[in-house]
């Protein structure tokens, strides 16, 4: 996906250093699942670049800006009775926050998934304190659908999870 100054594309060999540099941030880790490592080493980055494209139940993509891989965005396609549903997730290197980049990326990937897959509903689950992500989703046309009380235990605290959803028109 070419958005002009932003390109959303598969991870590629050569991205490892930029990935480790941008991902290694506790402010990112506090807002994502525990399987996302902290510290995020070059070894973690190399493993991710190797496996990111191999699972067909997911789209794992890099966000490229100024010729650098500055963040990630992806969807997980659900199965069984949830087969028309997908979950979206993303993070961005801190240097690039506040420029509207993720809003544009979420809008573009959401449209792409609705156009190219049999998906009718895309949702994101965010930790209750993540106001930046809530704002990104609102700006990208998602709406707050549910609050799952005490559904997330992160960094020693149990908090609510907010479910933001967008349906195919």
Task: Summarize as ranges the residues that interact with ligand COA (CB under 6 A).
Answer: 28, 31-32, 90-92, 97-103, 124, 126, 130-133, 135-136
CA gap 133, 121 in Å, rounded: 18
- Shortest distance, CB of residue 118 to ligand COA, whole angstroms? 24
Q: Which H or E run includes 60?
A: strand 58-65
CA gap 165, 169 in Å, rounded: 12
Dihedral sign (CA 110, 105, 90, 8): positive
- Shortest distance, CB of residue 89 to ligand COA, whole angstroms? 6
- Shortest distance, CB of residue 140 to ligand COA, whole angstroms? 8
Nearer to ligand COA, 2 or 118 (CB): 2
Nearer to ligand COA, 118 or 144 (CB): 144
């Amino acid at each position: 996906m070419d958005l002009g100054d932003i390109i959303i594309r598969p991870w590629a060999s050569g991205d490892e250093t930029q990935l480790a540099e941008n991902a290694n941030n506790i402010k990112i880790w506090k807002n994502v699942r525990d399987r996302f490592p902290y510290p995020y080493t070059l070894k973690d980055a190399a493993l991710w670049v190797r496996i990111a494209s191999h699972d067909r139940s997911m789209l794992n993509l890099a966000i490229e800006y100024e010729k650098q891989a500055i963040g990630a965005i992806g969807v997980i396609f659900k199965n069984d009775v949830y087969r028309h549903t997908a979950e979206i997730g993303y993070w961005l290197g801190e240097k690039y926050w506040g420029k509207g980049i993720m809003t544009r990326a979420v809008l573009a990937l959401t449209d792409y998934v609705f156009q190219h897959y049999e998906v009718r509903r895309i949702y994101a689950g965010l930790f209750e304190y993540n106001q930046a992500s809530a704002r990104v989703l609102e700006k990208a046309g998602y709406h707050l659908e549910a609050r799952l009380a005490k559904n997330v235990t992160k960094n020693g605290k149990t908090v609510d999870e907010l479910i933001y959803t967008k349906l195919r028109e």
